[in-house]
A and B are shown apart, each in its own frame.
Chain A
Amino acid sequence: MKANSQTKFLSENYSALHGLNAVPLGLCLFLTSLWANVVQYPIKNFLLPIVLILGALLLSLVTDQYYKNTFGEIRPTSARRHFYWIVQSIWGLLGLVAFWVDVTLNLTISIIGLLFASMFLFDKPMVSVPLNRFSAVRLVASICLILVSITPMFLGKSWWNILGVRTTLIGVTMFVGALMVLQGVMWHIFFVRSLPLEEAKDE
């Protein structure tokens, strides 16, 4: 039996701690950015990114079923569910604005990178604000992302070319995708290890 505070933390944030849910989106972001980096411009065929998005959706469903069948399901309180949807909508809108800013304005920093860095810290505030191993991973990811986002300020706008990456936007989104996959896998390991392993045999 785990400590009462840990049990409470796990139950309150049960589905938020299902790290593998971030893997399909991270993979999709990484592979789509990779495709954008190697494709011939002007782009004539969008089949591959469509396949990648559909694949990510399918993988999301598989991941969801895996968690439901292996770890069961917890329905959060309605207040928490509403809060989650409001937060996700705000991040979605901010993401569109950041993408527009990065594409249209020629800035020396990546706004989308900085936005993802803040998302890593604050999109699941109930999990990421108290300091624990879950939030530590997010904090490290966020710091790495901030550094990557501001590198053009110090190394010049075309420094990504040295790595074979066309633009800062592509480089940053590839990095975000890789971080999402890594963070998701780590959260999953932490989640599994947080659950009590030995079952009580007697009442």
Chain B
Amino acid sequence: MSNVFEEIAGLDKLIHEPARLAIMTILSTVESADFLALQRLTGLTSGNLSVHLSKLVEGKLISYDKKIVGKKTKTQVKITAKGQQALEKHWLQLETFRANVQNSKPE
């Protein structure tokens, strides 16, 4: 059973946080998404979304491109190759963790 807890501790906390996992999941299925679409799909406030995006950019899991269109700033967000790999690894870890919990017996 202790291995299971080690696996939990080994999860990438940058991705594991629900809002960031949602952002990463969205970006993994598309070429790019703008800030407003991410806000609509996650239900986050613009402030919270900005904080999560900054953390993901710091971790080099996503990249973004800011453009000024008319009087508005348009932010296009993309997942990086590193981000895609990290997300796939994270899902694999969660699936392994789930399988291990189901198979493990109390000592």
Contacts and interface: CB of A to CB of B under 8 A. Distances in A.
Interface string A184-201: 000000000001111111
Contact of B25 (A8, A71, A198, A199): A8
Interface string B1-33: 000000000000000001101100110011111
A72 B18 contact: no
A12 B19 contact: no
Interface residues of A, number: 26
B43 A196 contact: yes
B45 interface: yes
Interface string A83-114: 00000000000000000000000000000000
A167 interface: no
B37 A71 contact: yes
A76 interface: yes
A68 to B, nearest CB: 8
Nearest to A78: B31
B34 A203 contact: no
B86 interface: no
A7 B25 contact: yes
Contacts of A74: 30, 32-34, 37
Nearest to B30: A74
Contacts of B22: 1-2, 4, 7
Contacts of B41: 7, 10-11, 14, 195-196
A72 B25 contact: no
B43 A73 contact: no
B29 A12 contact: yes
A196 B36 contact: no
A132 interface: no
B33 A11 contact: yes
Contacts of B43: 1-2, 195-200
B42 A196 contact: yes
A1 B30 contact: no
A40 interface: no
A82 B38 CA distance: 23
Most A C-beta atoms less than 10 A away, residue of B30, B35, B48, B76: B30
A77 interface: yes
Given A7-B22, A72-B36, A195-B43, 10 more contacts: A1-B19, A1-B42, A1-B43, A4-B21, A11-B29, A11-B33, A12-B29, A73-B33, A198-B43, A201-B45
16 contacts: A1-B19, A1-B22, A1-B43, A4-B25, A7-B42, A8-B25, A8-B26, A14-B30, A14-B41, A71-B37, A71-B40, A75-B33, A76-B31, A77-B30, A77-B31, A78-B31
